[in-house]
Amino acid sequence: LQQMLSIAVEVDRSPTCSSRKIADEIFPFILNIPLRSQREALLNTMDSQLLRCRLLELLFQHSCDVPSTSSMSLDKILYFLSHCSLPLHFEDETATWQRWDEMLQYLSLLLMSYQTFSLAEHLWSSLSDRMDLKVQKAKPRRQDSDNISHLDIQLKMEGFTRQMQKVLGQPFPPQIQEKLYMLQ
């Protein structure tokens, strides 16, 4: 299934458009997956970084009180960090800290997927164009909203940490501390 989805993204002249169409169709099913382990298995085994990024973007858009209208970027990931509400609208019997842990896991996965498809590769380009760009050794283009400062990151992380402290108290479980460090 994952290989078929990856091929479906690449078949069109515009992988970005294909990934949006496919993600829009798959997303309602992801919302109905009852267990975290099942959601993570689906997202972690995706062959297409572009499709994974789009699905995670939809997931966070869905959990924001005020969805962002900007295109996917590092700035948008910071937006999700400060505007996403817990528990990502999944109704299972997990502890609150585990829901935060899941959200941090998905934010990290979104960041890695975005970096892979946008900042490290030319995955937003069609397969034929991508080969030409690699032969030319062209660097992937960066959006203006990908230029964020260390101060921006620090301020958003501090705000997010304060938000978690209100809910979880202190000290954070080791899994949360590790994921916060990795995300930053």
Asked whether the beta carbons of 68 and 61 are under 8 A apart, the reply is yes
HSE at residue 81, side-chain half, CA atoms within 13 A, is 28
More confident position, 137 or 161: 161
Picking from 57-61, 115-119, 140-144, which range would have the lowest pLDDT averaged per residue?
140-144
Q: How far apart are CA 147 and CA 41, in angstroms?
A: 32
| Model pTM score | 0.81
Q: What is the pLDDT of residue 174?
A: 85
Q: How far apart are CA 71 and CA 74, in angstroms?
A: 10
Report the DSSP beta bridge partners of residue 14: none
98-110: pLDDT as tens digits: 888 888 999 999 9
pLDDT tens digits for range 132-159: 655 666 666 666 777 888 898 899 889 8
For 13, phi then psi, to 5°, come to -65, -25
